[in-house]
Amino acid sequence: MLVRPSGPCWILTLDASTPRSAIAVGRVDVDAGTHARVASDDEAAEQASAQLMPRVERVLARAGITPRALAAVACGRGPGTFTGTRVAVASAKGLAYGLGVPVVGVSTLAAVAASAEHEGPVLALLDARKGEVYGGRFECARLDGGEGLPRVSAVGDERVAPLATLVEALAPRSPTLRVVGSGVEPYRDALPPSLLATARSLPGPTSAGLWAATVDAWANGRLEDPAALEAVYLRQSYAEIGIHPPKRPFVKSPFV
């Protein structure tokens, strides 16, 4: 881990692991316990990650700063869509390398949990397809912009499993537990009535939720060298498990 600088710092954070890619830039002063999200962009559209860098430029311009003002670049590291996660991680690493600043890896599920805007326990779910969800339980506090920094603390490990299995493992009965994310709508029949009543479907993290999870990661010193930032998939991609083999067989060139 790298040493977090003291005083107010500008941070850019981005996530493209879900259909709603989000970007935010703002200031954080851990010593003073203050933070401010200055500019942001939420885009829920197909291939939104393809326009990630132009959107980053626009958000920085709206914040009135240049990239050189950044103390770090944060990134949603997944789990989520394989392509979108790779795009976000590669973009964050490229920016950080170019600026000579550290990166901050942020759990996409933590950002989804913070997007619920609920003070208390949150179960974040993302649709993993194939009858499964990515899930993680978090304890959220100080998300309303009041005194102190937001807290988005993981309770146990993130995992991928059928929703019923995941709920049994991560969601013991709690009257204040909330469920949020893109995994709600496709599998709502697997949610117990006590959770379904307050469950909220979201396509992905909001910029506000991403910012809250980023501030928490920054305050807890989760800085690293860009080379160390890795995407988190929780399971192998289709290509890795051979579901989508190459369209043409490999042919060795006679010229090599």
d(C-alpha 59, C-alpha 42), whole Å: 11
pLDDT of 243 strictly over 90: no
Task: Please tell me the predicted confidence (pLDDT) of residue 246.
Answer: 45
162-169 LR contacts (CB < 8 Å, sep 24+): 162/131, 162/132, 162/133, 162/190, 163/125, 163/132, 163/133, 163/135, 163/187, 163/190, 163/191, 164/190, 166/125, 166/133, 166/135, 167/123, 167/191, 167/192, 167/195
- The three-class DSSP label of residue 216 is helix
Is residue 22 within 8 Å of residue 114, measured between CB atoms?
Answer: no
- Sketch the domain layout of the chain as residue ranges: 9-236
Tell which residue, 180, 187, 234, has the closest CA to residue 203.
180
DSSP secondary structure letters along 160-172 = EE-HHHHHHHH--
pLDDT of 248 strictly over 50: no
Provide CB contacts within 8 A for 65, sequence distance 6+.
Answer: 10, 25
Place of tokens 């970007």: 23
Is residue 132 within 8 Å of residue 161, measured between CB atoms?
Answer: yes
| 171 — pLDDT class (breaks 50, 70, 90) | confident
> What's at 47, amino acid-wise?
Q
pTM, whole model, 2 decimals? 0.90
Q: What angle do CA 166, 137, 202 make, to 5 degrees?
A: 85
pLDDT of 239 strictly over 70: no
Tell which residue, 244, 216, 232, 41, has the closest CA to residue 111.
216
| 66 — pLDDT class (breaks 50, 70, 90) | very high
Q: Tokens standing for 177?
A: 């537990």
Task: Please tell me the predicted confidence (pLDDT) of residue 249.
Answer: 44
Between 100-109, 202-211, 234-243, the lowest mean confidence (pLDDT) is in: 234-243
Which CATH number describes the domain made up of 9-236? 3.30.420.40
| 20 — pLDDT class (breaks 50, 70, 90) | confident
Rg over alpha carbons for the chain, rounded to the nearest Å, is: 19
Q: Is the dihedral of CA 92, 97, 101, 105 positive or negative?
A: positive
